[in-house]
Amino acid sequence: MNPTPYLVLATILFTLGGAGVLLRRNALIAFMSVELMLNAANLAFVTFARMHGNIDGQIVAFFVMVIAAAEVVVGLAIIVMIFRTRRSASVDDASLLKL
Amino acid sequence: MSLLTAVAAQASETSTSSGTTGEEVLFWILAPLAVLGALGLVLSRKAVHGALFLAMTMVSLALLFLALEAPFLGVVQIVVYTGAIMMLFLFVIMLVGVDATDSRVETIRGQRGAAALAVLGVLVLLTAVTGRAALPDPIGTDEATPDGNVYAIADLIFGRYVWAFEVVAIVLITAAVGAMALTHKERVTRRLTQRELSERRFRDGDPRNAAGLPVPGVYARHNAVDTPALLPDGTPAESSVPAVLVARGAARPAEEFAEDIGEIGPHGQKPSGLQPQGEGDQPEGDATAGEGGPNDDVPADDGGADDDGARPDQDEADGGDAR
């Protein structure tokens, strides 16, 4: 099967993830949208790996997954900490650095 | 299921023209599911629903990885993403997301419109590039993985990419330690005893709540935590409903138990006229029932009427208590 449909799917998922990051105020949903973008990039990596008959793309996708796991652990810890001090999971409320 | 069959029919329709493959059918089933999950994540109002939609997208992507000759990544996708990361998200939503409904207020003027425009632009641009590119048919990874996918990946990870693998291990350990350091809460003050807490409640708090907040659901007809207790003057005591239920919007609004009051009112008034009759009948009815006469039905009826007469009486008494 030609790789184009896979790439278009990855594009759509990536864009939807970006829309979630830009449009949603809930920190958790914005964070999940970032995960969606990483997943879309992984799909493109695996598609290209198959297209080129070369498995390095799968290795990169694997490392992306591992880094995503580490990122989620730290990010969720930060969200929990902010919620503890400010009682809110909205990205608009964490505005202490605002002048 | 109707969606699946429709997609499958569409898949078979499109594949008849250019040779049908199982992979195309799989793709045209899974791709709409993945897009649907992503849309659900962006559009759902509650974070929990978003997390479940995202899990659906990730499972679809895992199956697509299997179709793309990456069985190891497909399994890792399910184990790591849907198994570990999404469960972590769900735990945090459980901790944090009580007031998870998103605010619709735009903090930056025109931000939403600009964001939508940018998203649309990126979508059109990327789709135009990827959709119009003349890509060759995939070579396939059979030649690159003579011993199978997992062996080839192991060769690369522990061979050419072993340095990256070690660095990633350090990153994971650092992340775990960092998460523990971030969420750890050092107790800087002494833990208060119950006596001190009680004294502080009298000193600082509302003295009317010194004995604790009123209990919810103390009400003639309705016994539930989502129903506020009634104060002596008949108004609902808002502080008697748990704050979590109020934040979720699960507490009963005032109109609903006003209807309950209306339901009790006429019910209590109507039989009050019958009440003396019922009481007057009662000894006779009981006597005939005891004798076991031929008119067995009549005392039973009388008993029923008596019951009806007695219950509203009770209701009135309870209502009076509650008010």
Lowest mean pLDDT among B169-183, B201-215, B262-276: B262-276
For residue A33, pLDDT beyond 70: yes
Q: Residue A26 in 3-state DSSP?
A: strand
Over residues B57-63, the mean pLDDT reads 95
Query: What percent of chain B is predicted at pLDDT more than 90?
Result: 32
Of B49, B67, B101, the residue that ends a domain is: B101
Closest of A46, A64, A63 to residue A55, by C-alpha: A46
User: Are residues A2 and B137, on separate chains, in Cβ contact within 8 Å?
Assistant: yes
Given A16, A50, A61, which is nearest B69 (Cβ)? A50
Decide if pLDDT at B7 tops 60.
no
Q: What is the pLDDT of residues B76-103, one digit of tens each?
A: 999 999 888 999 999 998 888 655 556 6
- B20-29, B87-96, B241-250, B297-306: segment of lowest average pLDDT: B297-306
Task: Kindly state whether residue B197 falls inside one of the protein's structural domains.
Answer: no
Q: Which of B76, B97, B183 sits opposite A89 (nearest CB)?
A: B97
B3 assigned to some structural domain: yes
Residue A94 covered by a domain? no
pLDDT at B52: 93
Kindly tell me the burial class for residue B170, based on how many C-beta atoms sit within 10 Å of its own C-beta (0-12, 13-18, 19 or more): exposed
Given an 8 Å threshold on Cβ–Cβ distance, is B97 in contact with A88? no
Write out chain A residues lying below 8 Å of B122, CB-based.
15, 18
**Residue A67 is assigned to a structural domain of this protein:** yes
Both tokens of residue B185? 């809460």
Would B176 be classed as within a structural domain?
no
Chain B 98-117, CB below 8 Å of chain A: which residues?
99-100, 102-103, 105, 107, 111-112, 115-116
Q: What whole-number distance in Å separates Cα of residue B194 and Cα of residue B200?
A: 10
CA of B278, closest CA in chain A: separation in Å?
59
**Most confident option among A23-27, A89-93, B245-249:** A23-27
Per-residue model confidence (pLDDT) at position B258: 63
Q: How far apart (Å, rounded) are the C-alpha atoms in residues A41 and A38?
A: 5
| ipTM of the complex, rounded to two decimals | 0.93
Domain that holds residue A53: 4-86
Please identify, among B101, B121, B143, the residue that sits at the C-terminal boundary of a domain.
B101
Q: Is B243 touching A (CB cutoff 8 A)?
A: no
Q: Could you tell me if B175 lies within 8 Å of chain A, comparing CB atoms?
A: yes
Long-range pairs of B212-221 with CB within 8 A, sequence gap ≥ 24: B213/B239, B213/B240, B214/B239, B214/B240, B215/B240, B216/B240, B216/B241, B216/B242, B218/B322, B219/B257, B219/B260, B219/B322, B220/B264, B220/B315, B220/B318, B220/B319, B220/B321, B220/B322, B221/B260, B221/B263, B221/B264
Judge whether A98 lies within some domain: no
Mean pLDDT of all residues belonging to chain B = 73
pLDDT of amino acid B97: 63
- Higher-scoring residue by pLDDT: B114, B14: B114
H-run or E-run covering B23: helix B22-43
Does B50 sit within 8 Å of A32, measured CB to CB? yes
Instruction: Please check whether residue B116 lies inside any domain of the structure.
Output: no
Task: Specify the pLDDT at position B320.
Answer: 38
Within the 48-77 window of chain A, which residues sit less than 8 Å (CB to CB) from chain B?
49-56, 58-59, 61-63, 65-74, 76-77
- Enumerate the β-bridge partners of residue B237: B229
Please report whether residue A68 resides in a domain. yes
Reported as a pLDDT band with limits 50, 70 and 90, residue B277 is very low
In a domain, B41, yes or no: yes
Domain-embedded: residue A64: yes
Positive or negative, the CA dihedral B142, B146, B147, B152 is negative
Judge whether B94 lies within some domain: yes
Is residue A51 included in any domain, yes or no?
yes
Which has more pLDDT, B36 or A88? Answer: B36
How many domains is chain A partitioned into structurally?
1
Q: Assess if residue A80 is contained within a domain.
A: yes
Residue B256, min C-alpha distance to chain A (Å): 30
How many structural domains does chain B have? 2
Test A53 with B141 for CB contact under 8 angstroms: yes
In a domain, A37, yes or no: yes
Query: Domain containing A8 — which CATH number?
Result: 1.10.287.3510
Domain that holds residue B93: 1-101
CATH code of the domain covering residue B54: 1.20.120.1200
